[in-house]
Chains A and B, each alone.
Chain A
Amino acid sequence: MPLTCQSQKRILTARLSGEIDHHAARQLMQDLDLAIESRTPKALVLDLGGVTFMDSSGIAVLLRSWRRMQETGGTMEVVSVPPQPGKVLRAANLHKIIPISFLEPVG
């Protein structure tokens, strides 16, 4: 579960790629925690454009980062969510808590 981070003017953009399942989630949570702690962003943008699969483990990952940002008075949004992860997030109604922009299914 590769994670790349880039920050500019205290906006941290974290790009997630590969498969987010229970196996990958623990390391991903740690990596995101570390990125938030070390860079103290005022806004976190999670880019899911490269995610090829996600199950409910991903919901816990997003909620954890969202709580971290809330604690420090920052904001978080999730962008470029492909159809399969999007369906999982919609089933959990996560878009009613966190701003999420979904990619449209192709074809």
Chain B
Amino acid sequence: MKPINQVKMEFDSKSANEAFARSAAACFAAQMDPTLEELGDIKTAVSEAVTNVIVHAYPHSIGRVQVKLRLFPDNTLEVSVKDWGTGIADLEKAREPLYTTGGAERSGMGFTIMESFMDSMKVRTAVGKGTTVTMRKKVSLRAGGR
């Protein structure tokens, strides 16, 4: 399926950009006429993915974060968040609820929230090369249409 609309953005892995990324994703998703809850789910998932990059992919440096948003004809939004950072050594462990290598400041719930707030989540990672998280969510078509 070909996307009917798409954006690609790239920014520094600075924590101030977390709000930028989720707000931009919400603005793009708005054309799908999502409910407030669906919009909140998308913002939360994007915030988690971008925060993971900032905290884990580039722990001691500022690197590049790429966010791609694609909209498909069946009203599915695809979000992919890519970095060229450390990669995840033990992906299975990283996806477990409450597991974190981020210390007391992190809850270890990022992947769990991404998975439960979106319809699907796929992670591709290679140590020393980077990680790409791809999530999809189908936004309900509301009665009355558009």
Majority SS at the chain B contact face: helix
Interface size class on chain A is 20 to 34
Tell me the total A-B contact number using a CB cutoff of 8 A: 76
Q: Taking the nearest CB of chain A, how far is it from the CB of B90, in angstroms?
A: 19
Asked whether B37 is an interface residue with its Cβ less than 8 Å from the other chain, the reply is yes
Q: Chain A residues in contact with chain B, CB under 8 A?
A: 19, 21-23, 25-26, 29, 53, 55-57, 59-60, 63-64, 83-84, 87-88, 91-92, 105
Contact A60–B48 (Cβ < 8 Å):
no
Contact A91–B113 (Cβ < 8 Å):
yes
Most chain B CB atoms below 10 A, which of A23, A63, A83: A23
Q: Taking the nearest CB of chain B, how far is it from the CB of A12, in angstroms?
A: 21
Q: Taking the nearest CB of chain A, how far is it from the CB of B3, in angstroms?
A: 26
Contact A23–B18 (Cβ < 8 Å):
yes
- CB contacts (< 8 Å) of A60 on chain B: these are 104-107
Q: Known A-B contacts: A60-B106, A84-B43, A91-B117. Give 10 more (CB < 8 A).
A: A22-B18, A22-B105, A23-B16, A53-B44, A56-B106, A57-B51, A57-B105, A64-B104, A84-B37, A105-B36
Partner of B105, one of A25, A88, A92: A25
Majority SS at the chain A contact face: helix
- CB contacts (< 8 Å) of B107 on chain A: these are 56-57, 59-60, 63, 92
Of the A-B pairs whose beta carbons lie under 8 Å apart in the complex, a sample of 18, sorted by A's number, is A21-B15, A21-B18, A21-B47, A22-B51, A23-B16, A23-B19, A29-B105, A53-B47, A55-B47, A55-B110, A56-B106, A56-B113, A57-B106, A60-B107, A83-B36, A87-B117, A91-B109, A92-B97
- CB contacts (< 8 Å) of B48 on chain A: these are 55-56
